[in-house]
Structures are given as structure tokens and as C-alpha cells.
């Protein structure tokens, strides 16, 4: 029996082994290259920042009513922020920014906006109201004196902004997208004077308080305003102060302005509602919001100071 276990490998076998070694070496080189690139990519992407921010000042629903006057309100915003830096420009040992950086800022914020309408003196006519007793139609003439109203709205804001960072200065510019959470109005005390005119009889009734006619001092219940999605132009600029190698405090000013009408199309309503009932004849006189009755456009505007506590993650 021939035993070839001690024979040296043939040239073909030696050549095949060399090819296999070269293939394995290529794989090792490729894997090492991919790992190195992935490590570099992860390292580059790991340079980001989380923050908690608080701002306040002018924060208003901006509108011009056809009746009376409007006043800007105050409010603010609280939220969480996230910045992804597009390049690594800080010293690893200290975190100090050694050259200007660009980044992308986003997050979530809850913002409160307010406004006030004053000195609404208005006369309205609602025609063709059926009399609950005999079905005759009458026109309701209502006069309001010194009507006042406050409005408030809460929005969920999502910023999408570009960051320019050159420590100790920073600048943000871009957009905020606002989703309404709630919008309400709160009427103040007002004087209602109601008169019913019957065209059929060419006669007016003015003093029948049991039917909701006459003069009433009252405060209407609160109501809702039909606001919609808004897009705001937003800028912010200020200073940043290092607390330690990974924590910062930002102090800046900001300005937001709504680019579109925040009032939903078709949300306009009559200012005075008449809903007579035998059980409560004087309780059916209510008003809708000044914004819904005397305005066709409302924009959001905000400006003030912003404080941001940030943590840099490398």
C-alpha cells in the first residue's frame, strides 16, 4: 500500500493554497476597511446635542377685527430640542468648538398664544326667526355695548431649522410647524339689548323679558375657536456658555411669524346667537368669538427671550 501522507504538496496544491490565502487577505482588508469607515461614520454621527428650552415674551394671535380693537397677548413655549451637527469641530479632550459648525435643529414644543378684543359696540339683525307661540316670523335686533373678549391657543410646535454655531455665538433659522391642540375665547361682561320686529304687523316688541327681549347684563360662557395648522418663519440668535466639557447654557432671542392664515376656511359665524326656550328665555343669547365673526385672517406672532440647557453627546 502506498502511503503519500509524507509527500510534499504538489505545485497545483501549493498554488491553490496561495490563492485561498490571498482571498482571505482581501476579505480581511475589506472587512477592516468597512469597520474603519463604519466607526468613523458612527463617530461623526455621534456628535449631537439634546436640550430643554424655555422661552417667553410676546406670544400672540395677530388679527384686525372689523369692529372694535385688538391687543397682542403674552405667552411662551417650553420644549425639547435636538441638534445633529453635520461636522465634528470640537476638541475631544475639552469639547471646545475650534471652528464654525453647521447643524440641523428639531424637537417638540408646547406654545401658548393669547390676544384680547376690546370696545366691541355692535348692532346685528337676524331675520326670519319663528315665534315659539304662533309661528309668526320676526327679526331680532341686538345691540351690544362695550363687549370684551380674550382668546388663547395652545399649539404643538415642531421646528426644523439650520444651525450656525461658532462658540460663544449661535444662530438658528428655518421654520416651525404648528398643530393646534386647543383654542378658546372667554367673553367679558356685556350689555345686550334685544328687540323683536314683526314685518307682518309692522310692530316691535322691546320689553318682554320673559321672551328674551329688553336689556340684559350678562357674561357669556366660554367657547372654542376653529384654528388650523400653521407654518411659521422662525429665527433665534444669542450666546452659549459652557458649564463643563459636555453641558451648555444658551441665552438668546427669538422671533416667529405665521406665514399662513390660522383661521380655518369656513369658520366664520354670526356674532350673536339666538336660541329661545320657554325654560330659559334669557339664556339663549350668546356670542361667538370676535375672531370668528369679525375677522377673516389671523396670524401667529411671537418674540422674546429663550433659555436652553443643553447636553452635548460625542
Same domain, 242 and 297: yes
Instruction: Compute the average pLDDT of residues 145-168.
Output: 92
Q: Which residue has the higher pLDDT, 64 or 89?
A: 64
Lowest model confidence (mean pLDDT) among 24-33, 36-45, 149-158, 223-232: 36-45
Same domain, 161 and 41: no
pLDDT score of 140:
85
Give per-residue pLDDT as tens, 8-26: 555 555 555 555 556 555 5
Same domain, 133 and 171: yes
Integer Cα distance of 98 and 243 in angstroms: 17
Sign of CA dihedral 272, 275, 281, 283: negative
Q: Note whether residue 3 is domain-resident.
A: no
Lowest model confidence (mean pLDDT) among 14-23, 51-60, 182-191, 228-237: 14-23
CA 265-149-261 angle, to 5 degrees, is 25
CA 48-52-54 angle, to 5 degrees, is 135
**Average pLDDT score over the chain:** 81
pLDDT score of 183:
96
Domain count, the chain: 2
pLDDT score of 281:
55
* Count of C-beta atoms within a 10 Å radius of residue 71: 11
Domain ranges, residue 84: 48-313
Q: Note whether residue 60 is domain-resident.
A: yes
Same domain, 27 and 166: no
pLDDT score of 19:
53
Give the start-end residues of each E strand in the chain.
Answer: 48-62, 69-72, 74-85, 101-130, 137-166, 169-187, 189-198, 203-205, 214-219, 223-224, 230-242, 247-258, 272-274, 285-287, 299-313
Same domain, 226 and 277: yes
Q: Which residue has the higher pLDDT, 284 or 190?
A: 190
pLDDT score of 255:
98
Same domain, 106 and 220: yes
Same domain, 78 and 12: no
Q: Name the band, by pLDDT with cuts 50, 70 and 90, for residue 39.
A: very low
Same domain, 125 and 271: yes
pLDDT at position 40 over 50: no
Q: Note whether residue 2 is domain-resident.
A: no
pLDDT score of 276:
60
Same domain, 88 and 215: yes
pLDDT at position 89 over 70: no
Query: Around 274, how many Cα atoms within 13 Å sit in the side-chain half-sphere?
Result: 23
Sign of CA dihedral 109, 165, 39, 95: negative
* Count of C-beta atoms within a 10 Å radius of residue 160: 13
Same domain, 18 and 129: no
pLDDT score of 35:
43
Strand partners, 72: 115
Q: Which residue has the higher pLDDT, 179 or 94?
A: 179
Phi, psi of 9 (to 5 degrees): -65, 150
Q: Note whether residue 242 is domain-resident.
A: yes
Q: Name the band, by pLDDT with cuts 50, 70 and 90, for residue 51.
A: very high
Per the listing, cell 320689553 goes with 207
Integer Cα distance of 230 and 220 in angstroms: 29
Q: Note whether residue 117 is domain-resident.
A: yes
pLDDT at position 109 over 90: yes
Phi, psi of 14 (to 5 degrees): -65, -40
Coil vs helix vs strand at 265? coil
Give the N- to C-terminal CA distance of the chain in Å, as an integer: 69
Q: Name the band, by pLDDT with cuts 50, 70 and 90, for residue 273.
A: confident
Amino acid at each position: 500500500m502506498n502511503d503519500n501522507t509524507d509527500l510534499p504538496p504538489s505545485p497545483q496544491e501549493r498554488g491553490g493554497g496561495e490563492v485561498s490565502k490571498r482571498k482571505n487577505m482581501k476579505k480581511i482588508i475589506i472587512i477592516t476597511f468597512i469597520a474603519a469607515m463604519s466607526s468613523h461614520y458612527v463617530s461623526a454621527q455621534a456628535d449631537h446635542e439634546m436640550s430643554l428650552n424655555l422661552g417667553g415674551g410676546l406670544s400672540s394671535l395677530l388679527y384686525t377685527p372689523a369692529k372694535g380693537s385688538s391687543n397682542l397677548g403674552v405667552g411662551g413655549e417650553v420644549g425639547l430640542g435636538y441638534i445633529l451637527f453635520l461636522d465634528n469641530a470640537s476638541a475631544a479632550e475639552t469639547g471646545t468648538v475650534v471652528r464654525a459648525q453647521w447643524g440641523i435643529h428639531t424637537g417638540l414644543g408646547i406654545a401658548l398664544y393669547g390676544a384680547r378684543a376690546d370696545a366691541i359696540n355692535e348692532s346685528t339683525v337676524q331675520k326670519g326667526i319663528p315665534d315659539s307661540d304662533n309661528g309668526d316670523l320676526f327679526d331680532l335686533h341686538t345691540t351690544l355695548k362695550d363687549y370684551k373678549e380674550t382668546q388663547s391657543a395652545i399649539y404643538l410646535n415642531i421646528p426644523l431649522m439650520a444651525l450656525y454655531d461658532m462658540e460663544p455665538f449661535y444662530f438658528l433659522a428655518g421654520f416651525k410647524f404648528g398643530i393646534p391642540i386647543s383654542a378658546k375665547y372667554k367673553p367679558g361682561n356685556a350689555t345686550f339689548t334685544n328687540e323683536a320686529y314683526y314685518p307682518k304687523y309692522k310692530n316691535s316688541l322691546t320689553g318682554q323679558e320673559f321672551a328674551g327681549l329688553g336689556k340684559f347684563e350678562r357674561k357669556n360662557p366660554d367657547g372654542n375657536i376653529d384654528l388650523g395648522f400653521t407654518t411659521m418663519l422662525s429665527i433665534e440668535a444669542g450666546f452659549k456658555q459652557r458649564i463643563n466639557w459636555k453641558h451648555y447654557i444658551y441665552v438668546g432671542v427669538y422671533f416667529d411669524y405665521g406665514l399662513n392664515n390660522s383661521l380655518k376656511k369656513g369658520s366664520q359665524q354670526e356674532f350673536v346667537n339666538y336660541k329661545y326656550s320657554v325654560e330659559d328665555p334669557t339664556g339663549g343669547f350668546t356670542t361667538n368669538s370676535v375672531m370668528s365673526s369679525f375677522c377673516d385672517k389671523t396670524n401667529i406672532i411671537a418674540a422674546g427671550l429663550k433659555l436652553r440647557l443643553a447636553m452635548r453627546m460625542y
